[in-house]
Amino acid sequence: MEVRQKVVDDLESARRRSLDLLDPLDDDGLRRQHSPLMSPLVWDLAHIGNYEELWLLRAVAGAAPIDEALDDIYDAFRHPRPNRPALPLLGPAEARRYLAEVRGRALDTLERVDLDAGAPLLAGGFVYGMVVQHEHQHDETMLATLQLMGGTGYRPLAPAPPAGSPVTGDVLVPAGPFVMGTDDEAWAYDNERPAHLVDLPGFRIDAAPVTNGAYAGFVADGGYDEPRWWTADGWAWREKAGLVAPEFWRAEGGGRWSRLRFGWHEDLPLDEPVQHVCWYEADAYARWAGKRLPTEAEWEKAASWSPAGVKHRWPWGDGGPTAERANLGGTHFRPAPVGAYPAGASAYGCHQMVGDVWEWTASDFEPYPGFVTFPYREYSEVFFGSGYKVLRGGSWAASPLAVRTTFRNWDYPIRRQIFAGFRCARDA
């Protein structure tokens, strides 16, 4: 497909998703802050438009601001999430009008832009891909907010995921070098670049993410009461936050659990990947199981490399995601059971490495050798350091346009509202 048409299609697809997600909510549901961890949904909505204005109108076309005051209100760095309800936010109708105005101007500008002029921002439609991915990332953030809603919550109607099949044990990834990161992905972020060789010892990695059933075994064995499974910081957080199980789990007696999912309780599906666990919980489980979390290099090799020495964009190869390969894009509004996507397994035999749940790794978020900030520091560079842990793979809520085997997500090790789980690894 010609790049310009792909840009149009992807921009419009992201916008339909954003508006459809929020369409069931009334104005109060959009304006209210459902958790201090998250923004009011109407802030996210207008922020999407402001980001698009900054990059597709001003950076690309040199346009004057539509309203300079909006740059401050929707600057995520100036205003932490707990403080955003006090800002003079656009109302729901105003936010939608703002989005429509920005989009109309952006599409007009796109018709006149030379995508082949050699400007780095435009090469391969990069800046448009950045905006598309940003909107999809906020759609996932808004889904996390919807999961935190009180009352009757948000009731999505979605088809059930495919049935699973038993996937147990781990697989061997032999020692040797592989290519980590990418130089070829047109829309890859700066933190995914440059591609570079990494030589790893052999290791074993779980063939599937840790399930709710397996994690319930850790809980039943007193895993939350035993400091030896936790790092010092993890144990301190467990005590401070009063953690006893993953977020949204509820004990029903007799060893049974339910979970809260978008406003209603359901029996905990034991064969689904566990989600809503923080890094500390994932790390503690891995220690209890006699294993560890994989490094992000190990994760990427298991997901993208083949024994023949070929790098793939997706675990299964270079063809894009399909309904038979991965659970992405919010199709089912939940993780699928382990083993539901045998066609999506990696060359080494790892299942569900893309989709279902983000997977915590052992690694801090750090730049690759030769990293160059592009096009702005606030996307990656300001977050580098030991304060953030890397997640890989993408969740059921992530768009196929905003994940790939080289994609790097990151968050605080205490974060639980995100759709995150994990798999374990061990030395070979």
What are the tens digits of pLDDT across the range 150-198? 887 888 889 999 999 999 999 999 999 999 999 999 999 999 999 999 9
Segment 225-271, tens digit of pLDDT: 999 999 999 999 999 999 999 999 999 999 999 999 998 899 999 99
Residue with tokens 């997600």: 21
Segment 73-119, tens digit of pLDDT: 999 999 999 999 999 999 999 999 999 999 999 999 999 998 887 89
Q: What is the pLDDT of residue 224?
A: 98
Beta strands in 26-184, from DSSP E residues, in sequence order: 170-173, 176-180
Q: Tell me which of 3.30.1360.120, 3.40.1190.20, 3.90.1150.10, 3.90.1580.10 is the CATH number of domain 157-428.
A: 3.90.1580.10
Q: What is the pLDDT of residue 157?
A: 84
Least confident of 106-115, 194-203, 211-220, 410-419: 106-115
Question: Across the strands, what pairs with 426?
Answer: 204
Checking DSSP bridges between strand 420-421 and strand 358-365, what pairing results, if any?
parallel
| 67 Cα distance to chain centroid | 31
Euclidean distance between CA atoms 313 and 191, whole angstroms: 16
List, in order, residues 6 or more apart from 301 with CB less than 8 Å away. Answer: 173, 178, 180, 198, 200
Q: What is the pLDDT of residue 1?
A: 60
Domain boundaries 3-147, corresponding CATH code: 1.20.120.450
List, in order, residues 6 or more apart from 305 with CB less than 8 Å away. Answer: 173, 178, 179, 311, 312, 347, 348
What residue ranges do the domains of the chain occupy? Answer: 3-147, 157-428
Query: Are 373 and 381 within 8 A, CB to CB?
Result: yes
Euclidean distance between CA atoms 422 and 209, whole angstroms: 6
Question: Residues of the chain with pLDDT > 70: what percent?
Answer: 100
Residue with tokens 């075994």: 217
Beta strands in 338-384, from DSSP E residues, in sequence order: 358-365
Q: What is the pLDDT of residue 50?
A: 98
Neighbours of 252 (CB within 10 A): 12
Reduced to 3 states (helix: H, G, I; strand: E, B; else coil), residue 378 is coil
How much of the chain is in helix, strand and coil states, percent to nearest 5?
Answer: 35, 15, 50
Segment 48-61, tens digit of pLDDT: 999 999 999 999 99
Instruction: Indicate the DSSP class of residue 55.
Output: I
Residue with tokens 């030769």: 370
End-to-end CA gap in the chain: 44
Question: Across the strands, what pairs with 385?
Answer: 365
Euclidean distance between CA atoms 388 and 384, whole angstroms: 7
Indicate the burial class of 123 (C-beta count within 10 angstroms; 0-12, 13-18, 19 or more).
Answer: middle
Question: Residues of the chain with pLDDT > 90: what percent?
Answer: 95
pLDDT over 90 (residue 394): yes
130 band by pLDDT with thresholds 50, 70 and 90: very high
The reply to whether 157-428 shares the fold of 3-147 is no
User: Which two tokens mark 132?
Assistant: 């598309």
Instruction: Indicate the DSSP class of residue 118.
Output: -
User: Which two tokens mark 58?
Assistant: 């001003």
Q: Which of 297, 82, 278, 41 is nearest to 180 (CA)?
A: 297
Query: Are 180 and 216 within 8 A, CB to CB?
Result: no
Reduced to 3 states (helix: H, G, I; strand: E, B; else coil), residue 386 is strand
Q: What is the pLDDT of residue 117?
A: 77
Cα within 13 Å of Cα(17), Cβ side: 28
pLDDT over 70 (residue 319): yes
User: Which two tokens mark 424?
Assistant: 């374990």
